[in-house]
Structure 1
Amino acid sequence: MPRRHMHVTDTAEAPLRAALHDLRARMEIPDHFPPTAQAEADSAARAPRIPAGDGEVATEHTLHDATDLPLFTLDPPGSRDLDQAMYLARRRGGGYRVHYAIADVASFVTPGGALDAEAHHRVATLYFPDEHVPLHPTVLSEGAASLLPDQDRPAVLWQLDLAPDGALTGTAVRRALVRSRARLHYAGVQRVLDDGTAEEPLALLREIGLRREELETVRGAISLNVPEQEIVERDGRYTLAYRAALPAAAWNAQISLLTGMAAAELMLASGTGILRTLPSAPDGSVARLRLTAQALGVDWPHHTSYAALIRTLDPRRARHAAFLQECTALLRGAGYTTFDGTAPPATTAVHAAVAAPYAHATAPLRRLVDRYTSELCLAAAAGRTPPGWVRAALAALPREMELGTQRANQVERACVDLVEAALLRDRVGDTFEALVVDRHQDDPTQGTVQLYEPAVIGPVRAAPGGPALPLGDRIRVRLSTAEPGREPVQFTPV
């Protein structure tokens, strides 16, 4: 999923949408699926083949029936690629039970087939400000495999038992037939939680979410509440606004994080698996963020850690929202660690932002690796060897995911360039107050500046032979180029 969320609201004929269309063409982003892959998807949508272990195939009649669970999904309005559904309850004697259903993509994708090959080529859904390019054909991702309401669906069903403080005490996972009862969206859920009219399963979302956030703080973990950037056209000019995520979205994310941590524990105990790992941020990255905070007027006392600072920020405030966007840079360097037979050392098995072992497990409709995580966890929970097709793919998965992440990063960077150029296209030649947040080591006349208003970050280049950029100092810069789809923003010192 994207680190930076962007959405554009202008009409299809507007310049930014046209530039985004051209960008997809230049980057050779596919706009359709190969006929053989689409045919496999169409066939699987009509008749899924549900794995039953040992090479056998289950049917909806032999699958564990969990359709009595009143599951619900919680996503942005209009979403149809629904990976997760949940039901939350209290346990007798105290604590909680989380039922979490994950779309069972392996029931629709045959290993070694054309659809499987295309998924390995795409790796993940790509997100653009105006649309997304799916990992799987929509007949599956927004149809037969999606946990849409009032439809029986094969799923990987997690049962997670929690202590009264929210700590995980028990994990079970199995294949099951499920039926979501409702498709909810964040604003509606937040409203009933705030006015006290939410029924207990929804009320428990807040209760469990807050418990898990407290445990996250104790671990020293970092949870970025990154707001969505919305690019709006008004009177022929673009403006940038930030839409902060509601608390309900953060509590929903805690359920997903809980499941990813439980998946990591299962795989580590079994000796076979794939983890999402992230090293600690290098000192230079944090130092650069301090300069960005200074440029945006975000108070960051020297005695306050990065993790502690993040918890004090309000994404509804524009400067805080812009800073949170830049904090996603610390997520770079994440990768995947596979193991088959021997679990990795604890020092290399941890995701620094989660402050615990963690696995991507809850978004198989939109991310390739999650399908494999489901199979590895199902095997671990059943005490059996993972399927051969899963183990055969393990060695190559980190590199495939890395290439997919690189492509997603390229898309993200190109979209940011387009958006910034669209925001400033009518202001070429204008001067701005800015802070120098980075300076090239091999050429100190080049670097990066953060504008005070609007909150745009971009490259700055002084004249050859000129003075070095004053790293960390405030300067005035002139916008020299900004043409969506042609020239990204570029500044020169005044």
Structure 2
Amino acid sequence: MPYSHIGVRRSAAQQSLAHALAALGDEFKLPGDFTPEVLAEVDAVIAGHELPAPDLTALPFITIDPPTSQDLDQAMYLERSGDGYAVHYAIADVPSFVPAGGPLDSETRRRGQTIYTPGQRIPLHPLPLSEGAASLFADDPRSAYVWEIHLAADGSQTSASVRRATVRSVAKLGYEQAQDLFDAGTAPSEYAETLALLAEIGTKRIELERARGGASLNVPAQEVEFVDGRYVLDFRPSLPIEDWNAQISLLTGMAAAQVMIDGKVGILRTMPAPDEVSVAAYRMQTVALGQPWAAGMAYGEYLRTLSAEDPKHLALMHAASTLFRGAGYTPFNGEVPEQVLQSAVAAPYAHTTAPLRRLVDRFVLAICAALCAGEEVPAWAVDALEELPDIMAASNQLAGKVDKAAIDTVEAALLSHQLGGEFNAVVLAGPKKNGHTTKAAAARSSIQIAAPAVTAYCEGDLEPGTVVRVRLAAVDIAKRSVTFVPA
């Protein structure tokens, strides 16, 4: 089987799992229900909301998301323009639903972003907004910030602007559904060209990313889903259409960053280039694992040579996370900061495409629209710039902790009935070093098991990139702990 699962309400392990997952909210002090004051404001805003006058409903936008998503932030319509392309990218018009200084504004600043746990989410906005009036559902006219980005024949940007307008999506597609329609050539004529151009533009944007030295880690994602009454854990590689779709989002984030840089006001998503010590250490790992990183090759280009199907490559993909550190948010007003690059993107970049799920995007959209229109940037957006980095840093840290705890809990539950069992595992990393030596008594190596899809620790100093046989020595669902030993 490609993954393991356990039934709901049918085992002690499942009951322990349900209890442990439910306890995450209290353990991490996650926000609870929205207050009556917030909900009343949302109801009032939705009731009085008016669609923008510019009418783009004749353009057949589509959304491409995980199939169960209801908070649809983005919709796209792609067309040819001369020998190049025009990208129309509609982003949910969250700013028009959040009165500045009101109860919802304050509550979203407290939350920072939507936080996900298996079978549950703690939304940034109340569901009547995030999965209702502001979500870009198919067949319903919606208010949106619409980016119009023109590209040359090679996919490079020639112009970009954003404005509020009314749009209508004609289809809500899941990733696999969209990929199947593209592969089979069976997409309805209304949006067949958009899917075809998504592949064409996405492929060209990937090549441009390579040329500018951009990098991405395509490690198969470890995902937890609730399917047919069961928790399912799997490693899922991304589909080509997901990569193409991500390129449209990256393109828009880069366009937003440049608009704000030109206007000398805004907030960028920045990340410094890897430091020399980290680069040197990673180069040594690539040599040790028989896949040397050649001198003069950009690290993004090197990462593209790695395949998750090869155990040694997989270990190097995990080790490369040491090169992706220090990401943060850089606000500015009146003077462009010296550091504007997001080194993995290899260009200035801003978060602007997910305002239903991430706080900072709401402010970026409003700033960019004002700058493109030649209008004064709203004071509420400028006034928030200095506090947004701290809000987002705290929120990202919390989301990371919750995500790790949830996956650790599900892993323990999935393995609880296999105590004493043996598995084949890939060693991802050896023991963490304490100075120049390793404390032998505490030595443990990071490993990955394919079925069930678990990453864990195994006692001992094991060689990264090797395939080893391990035995499950201990499991504790409540403590989220799994212990392996060499078999």
Bin for the TM-score computed over the shorter chain: 0.7 to 0.9
1:11 paired residue among 8, 11, 27: 8
Q: Post-superposition shift, 1:21?
A: 1.2
Alignment of 1:304-319 (within 5 A): 306-314=299-307
> Aligned partners of 2:218 and 2:374: how far apart in 1?
37
1:385 paired residue among 376, 379, 401: 376
- Render the CA deviation track for 1:387-410: whole Å, top value 9, x for unaligned: 111111111111111111111121
Aligned to 1:78: 68
Aligned to 1:258: 251
1:34 aligns with 2:26: no
1:178 paired residue among 164, 167, 173: 167
1:335 aligns with 2:332: no
Aligned to 1:112: 101
2:56 paired residue among 52, 60, 66: 66
> Aligned partners of 2:316 and 2:56: how far apart in 1?
44
Aligned to 1:192: 181
Q: Post-superposition shift, 1:70?
A: 1.2
1:486 aligns with 2:475: no
Aligned to 2:432: 438
1:408 aligns with 2:399: yes
Alignment of 1:90-489 (within 5 A): 90-92=80-82, 94-198=83-187, 199-230=192-223, 240-282=233-275, 300-303=291-294, 306-314=299-307, 330-345=323-338, 348-426=339-417, 436-441=430-435, 444-445=439-440, 446-451=442-447, 453=449, 457-458=455-456, 481-489=474-482
Q: Post-superposition shift, 1:8?
A: 7.6
What residue identity is the alignment partner of 1:41?
V
Q: Is the 8 A contact 2:293 2:302 kept in 1?
A: no
Unaligned runs of 5+ in 1: 1-5, 49-58, 463-468
**Which range moved further: 37-46 or 224-233?**
224-233
Q: Is the 8 A contact 2:162 2:368 kept in 1?
A: yes
Q: Post-superposition shift, 1:425?
A: 3.3
> Aligned partners of 2:417 and 2:481: how far apart in 1?
13
Q: How many aligned positions are there?
A: 465
TM score, norm. by length of structure 2: 0.85
Q: Is the 8 A contact 1:7 1:129 kept in 2?
A: no
Aligned to 1:3: none
> Aligned partners of 1:416 and 1:329: how far apart in 2?
21
Q: Post-superposition shift, 1:214?
A: 0.4
Q: Is the 8 A contact 1:70 1:180 kept in 2?
A: yes
Cα gap change, 1:227/1:324 in structure 2, threshold over 3 Å: closer, same or farther? same
Tell me the secondary structure at the aligned position of residue 153 of structure 2: coil
Q: Post-superposition shift, 1:226?
A: 4.3
**Which range moved further: 161-170 or 109-118?**
109-118
- Render the CA deviation track for 1:293-316: whole Å, top value 9, x for unaligned: 899xx8633427642343234557
Tell me the secondary structure at the aligned position of residue 255 of structure 1: helix
Aligned to 2:45: 44
Cα gap change, 1:418/1:322 in structure 2, threshold over 3 Å: closer, same or farther? farther
Q: Is the 8 A contact 1:155 1:177 kept in 2?
A: yes
Q: Is the 8 A contact 2:61 2:169 kept in 1?
A: yes
Q: Post-superposition shift, 1:182?
A: 1.3
Q: Is the 8 A contact 1:243 1:316 kept in 2?
A: no
What residue identity is the alignment partner of 1:146?
S
Cα gap change, 1:284/1:34 in structure 2, threshold over 3 Å: closer, same or farther? farther
Cα gap change, 1:136/1:233 in structure 2, threshold over 3 Å: closer, same or farther? closer
Cα gap change, 1:179/1:320 in structure 2, threshold over 3 Å: closer, same or farther? farther
Tell me the secondary structure at the aligned position of residue 77 of structure 1: coil
- Render the CA deviation track for 1:251-301: whole Å, top value 9, x for unaligned: 011000000000000000000010001112345656777899899xx8633
> Aligned partners of 2:348 and 2:26: how far apart in 1?
38
> Aligned partners of 2:95 and 2:251: how far apart in 1?
22
Q: Post-superposition shift, 1:385?
A: 2.3
- Render the CA deviation track for 1:402-424: whole Å, top value 9, x for unaligned: 11111112112212332343344
Cα gap change, 1:473/1:42 in structure 2, threshold over 3 Å: closer, same or farther? closer
| % identical equivalent positions | 45
> Aligned partners of 1:25 and 1:67: how far apart in 2?
44
Q: Is the 8 A contact 2:431 2:438 kept in 1?
A: no
Q: Post-superposition shift, 1:241?
A: 2.8
- Render the CA deviation track for 1:20-69: whole Å, top value 9, x for unaligned: 11222221223411221122122222222xxxxxxxxxx43x62111111
**Which range moved further: 432-441 or 208-217?**
432-441
> Aligned partners of 2:85 and 2:381: how far apart in 1?
32
What residue identity is the alignment partner of 2:196?
A
- Render the CA deviation track for 1:368-390: whole Å, top value 9, x for unaligned: 00000001101111222211111
Q: Post-superposition shift, 1:327?
A: 5.0
Q: Is the 8 A contact 1:242 1:321 kept in 2?
A: no
Tell me the secondary structure at the aligned position of residue 337 of structure 1: strand
Q: Is the 8 A contact 2:155 2:205 kept in 1?
A: yes
Unaligned runs of 5+ in 2: none
> Aligned partners of 2:114 and 2:409: how far apart in 1?
20
TM score, norm. by length of structure 1: 0.83
Moved over 6 A (4+): 6-9, 287-295, 316-323, 429-433, 470-478
> Aligned partners of 1:394 and 1:472: how far apart in 2?
43
Q: Is the 8 A contact 1:9 1:232 kept in 2?
A: no
> Aligned partners of 2:4 and 2:358: how far apart in 1?
20
Q: Is the 8 A contact 1:422 1:484 kept in 2?
A: yes
> Aligned partners of 2:299 and 2:323: how far apart in 1?
11
Cα gap change, 1:323/1:76 in structure 2, threshold over 3 Å: closer, same or farther? farther
> Aligned partners of 2:382 and 2:274: how far apart in 1?
31
> Aligned partners of 2:285 and 2:233: how far apart in 1?
18
Q: Post-superposition shift, 1:191?
A: 1.6
Tell me the secondary structure at the aligned position of residue 438 of structure 1: coil
**Which range moved further: 445-454 or 69-78?**
445-454
Tell me the secondary structure at the aligned position of residue 359 of structure 1: coil
1:23 aligns with 2:24: yes
Q: Post-superposition shift, 1:116?
A: 0.7
**Which range moved further: 134-143 or 414-423?**
414-423
